[in-house]
Structure 1
Amino acid sequence: MSELGAAVMTEIVLPGIVQPDGLEVRTREIPAPGPGQVVLRVEATGVSFAEQQMRLGRYYGQPPFPFVPGYDAVGTVARLGPGADPALAGRRFAVVTKVGSWASHVLVDADALIAVPDGVDPAEAETVVVNGVTARQLLRLAKVRAGQTIVVLGANGGVGSTLVQLAQHDGIKVIGTAAARHHPLLDKLGAIPVDHRDPHLYDRIAALAPGGVDAVFDHLAGDGLKQSWHLIRKGGTLVSYGTAALKDNSASTQAVFLSLFSQLWMWHLSPNGKGARFYNFWAGERRTAAFRARLREDLTAVFALLAEGVLTAQVAATFPLSRAGEALALAESRTVAGKVILVPDPATGTP
């Protein structure tokens, strides 16, 4: 397939450390795919915490400004490069890019594509690309099993709501924290809700699990991390997978992570039978083939659960690509449940 229709693409550029309304909408010629590459016409991409950190220049390893953010995408193969399998043309796939997906078209390696099941809506598929893989790998890292109890902080979020559902599917009891307005959602997903604004939050959780919990999934870090650690029973695991509470910390990103790693490692080595781990989505990225194989296996499994109705996609809101600044502002407001999604602008959505 070589026909793209429009010769130009739209992309959202992060020019520097700006407010969400400082994002720039630009157009340029659609690049030609090289050997083994394809052009993916984007049907849905999402707003994650990573882009929020990138806006502040605080995402570890982000490229220099200006650049196009966008962690992942779902779309249809619109053009093939030399050597790419002709059977890919016109089919829908997901891809994890780390940056570059806030665009109408993205250039990717064909080997990085992961098939989206027929009949699954692109926006719904997008909610579980990185979030679903992260949630599945978090559960595997903590080695929790049926009959055990876990705590999911921020259970209304993109990762959190998916983590709740996967755990429930595995027969694991879930205590989830969220603002009171999101408690009906947690009830619906099968979690026991606790108000994250409650000054006695950790006491409330401890009362629900007097013997301690088998795992806490903490995306916040900060001052609450020690209290998460105290919730863990002997044999349990604290899994830290983000630093949301430190988003506005004045320390360097490297210093923040070094402090976090040091604290977790010290706890992990303590002689109390408890574990403390840090999760990094990109662990093993340098071993490209192995990394992509694990990613494909996990996302394929999550997509199957989505297609079967075991997982319910949590779409917080959708915005056209050109309104990415508004979408980012909404995501940063911490008032929504699920993931904010960007979709093509009506005039350029289908070349």
Structure 2
Amino acid sequence: MMKAITHTQFGEPENVLFVGEHPVPQPAANEVRIKTILAPIHNHDIWTVRGRYGYQPSFPAIGGSEAVGIIDAIGEDVHHLQIGQRVSVASVHGTWAEYFIAPARMVIAIPDNIPDELAAQLIAMPLSSLMLLEFLNLQSGEWLIQNAASGAVGKTVAMLAQKRGIHNISLVRRDDAITELKALGIQHIVSTTQHDWKEQVKAIVGQHSITAAVDSIGGTASTDLVQLLGENSTLVSFGTMKGEPMQIPSGDLIFKQIVLKGFWGSKVSQNMSIENKKRLVSELLHDAADQTLQLPVEGIFNFQEIKQAIAASLKSAKAGKVLLVA
């Protein structure tokens, strides 16, 4: 038997999650079993527990969708991986457990020079961030603006965009977040708590036009982004932190010829060729190894501390991801 963070109903994670015992899973053909080292708590993991995400598990369910660990069993027809290999994987289920199963084709071998804390969160959000940049088709020298930029995705998008020569403006909702992002080498950070923040954005851009915006908040925050976008630009909805519909001024949408799109990493990933995925993963591994990509950690909690871990993950001001240690 193994220990795993479990829920038998949907609800607020602090109320429905508990440490339960489950049979150790066995890999089928083309699968591997991974002994978990560290697993992150993502926002989509929390929404899944609430029953309000695109994927809904059957009960009893084990939480988690990404982890770094050691392969300890291999199913039939797996030839490119071996027992004892340290790997990362995302877009799977049940990683908040001592062991979990993953399709062999989705597992990525991790070089020794990438630490566990980085490897545990290397795939889901960073790969989504790279796919988002490709989805926007942004070229070197163009301008991107994003809100909620002090979150994991916002920081990652900014770092990866800069590496590609894309100018990024990061909108944050607290002044002290400016220092946090600057410590990661991120440029062009503006706090929306300051009354003249839109003028600051315009001063940064100068005579240039903002080509694309990423909205992770919704509500009136969508209005702000639309007002700052240039002509023939793109607004992408990445999330809805406020839980409110996007408020889009029809005048700006019409006269600027703005294109509005929704982005869901899982769907984009499904439609992406294997060659493109390999190219993006290779870019991630390179950026992680040379420390271009930095993924801070808020804290590491054991399974018995799941309530404290959830509380830490839900904090509005945190340094980085919350990780669970098996």
Whole-Å Cα distance in 2 between the matches of residues 213 and 71 of structure 1?
Answer: 34
User: Relative to structure 2, which stretch is displaced further, 133-142 or 230-239?
Assistant: 230-239
Which amino acid in 1 is paired with 2:117? A
Which of 139, 142, 149 is equivalent to 1:145?
139
Which amino acid in 1 is paired with 2:188? I
Aligned residues of 1:112 and 1:292 also touching (Cα < 8 A): no
- Cα–Cα, structure 1 residues 67 and 202, in superposed 2: closer, same or farther, change >3 Å? farther
Which of 62, 68, 78 is equivalent to 2:62?
68
Q: Name 2:320's counterpart in structure 1.
A: 338
Verify: 1:228 aligned to 2:225, yes or no. Answer: yes
- Cα–Cα, structure 1 residues 224 and 13, in superposed 2: closer, same or farther, change >3 Å? same
Q: Percent identity, please.
A: 22
1:137 Cα shift?
A: 1.1
| Backbone CA RMSD of aligned residues | 2.7
In the alignment, structure 2 segments of 5+ residues that lack a partner are none
User: Relative to structure 2, which stretch is displaced further, 99-108 or 211-220?
Assistant: 211-220
Aligned residue for 1:187, secondary structure, equals helix
1:275 Cα shift?
A: 2.5
Aligned pairs for 1:1-351 (under 5 A) are 8-15=1-8, 16-85=10-79, 87-178=81-172, 179-188=174-183, 189-198=185-194, 201-209=197-205, 211=207, 212-246=209-243, 270=254, 272-283=256-267, 294-344=276-326
1:313 Cα shift?
A: 2.3
User: Relative to structure 2, which stretch is displaced further, 202-211 or 333-342?
Assistant: 202-211
Whole-Å Cα distance in 2 between the matches of residues 49 and 180 of structure 1?
Answer: 23
The C-alpha deviation readout for 1:82-131, integer Å capped at 9, x for no partner, is 22227421111111235311111111221221222222112211222111
Whole-Å Cα distance in 1 between the matches of residues 273 and 95 of structure 2?
Answer: 19
Scaled by the length of structure 2, the TM-score of the pair is 0.88
- Cα–Cα, structure 1 residues 135 and 158, in superposed 2: closer, same or farther, change >3 Å? same
1:64 Cα shift?
A: 4.4
The one of the two structures with greater contact order (alpha-carbon pairs below 8 A, sep at least 6) is 1
Which amino acid in 1 is paired with 2:87? F
The C-alpha deviation readout for 1:237-261, integer Å capped at 9, x for no partner, is 2121111110xx6xxxxxx6xxx6x
Aligned residue for 1:107, secondary structure, equals strand
Paired positions, count: 322
Scaled by the length of structure 1, the TM-score of the pair is 0.82
1:208 Cα shift?
A: 3.3
Aligned residues of 1:18 and 1:55 also touching (Cα < 8 A): yes
The C-alpha deviation readout for 1:120-172, integer Å capped at 9, x for no partner, is 11221122211111111111122222222221212221111111111111222
Aligned residue for 1:82, secondary structure, equals coil
Aligned residue for 1:340, secondary structure, equals strand
Aligned residues of 2:301 and 2:323 also touching (Cα < 8 A): yes
- Cα–Cα, structure 1 residues 127 and 198, in superposed 2: closer, same or farther, change >3 Å? farther
- Cα–Cα, structure 1 residues 291 and 98, in superposed 2: closer, same or farther, change >3 Å? farther
Whole-Å Cα distance in 2 between the matches of residues 17 and 291 of structure 1?
Answer: 36
- Cα–Cα, structure 1 residues 126 and 296, in superposed 2: closer, same or farther, change >3 Å? farther
Aligned residue for 1:88, secondary structure, equals coil
Whole-Å Cα distance in 1 between the matches of residues 276 and 64 of structure 2?
Answer: 21
Whole-Å Cα distance in 2 between the matches of residues 122 and 275 of structure 1?
Answer: 40
User: Relative to structure 2, which stretch is displaced further, 232-241 or 129-138?
Assistant: 232-241
Whole-Å Cα distance in 2 between the matches of residues 268 and 61 of structure 1?
Answer: 34
Which amino acid in 2 is paired with 1:314? P
What stretches of structure 1 move > 6 A for 4+ residues in a row? 266-269
Whole-Å Cα distance in 2 between the matches of residues 63 and 267 of structure 1?
Answer: 42
Aligned residues of 2:214 and 2:237 also touching (Cα < 8 A): yes
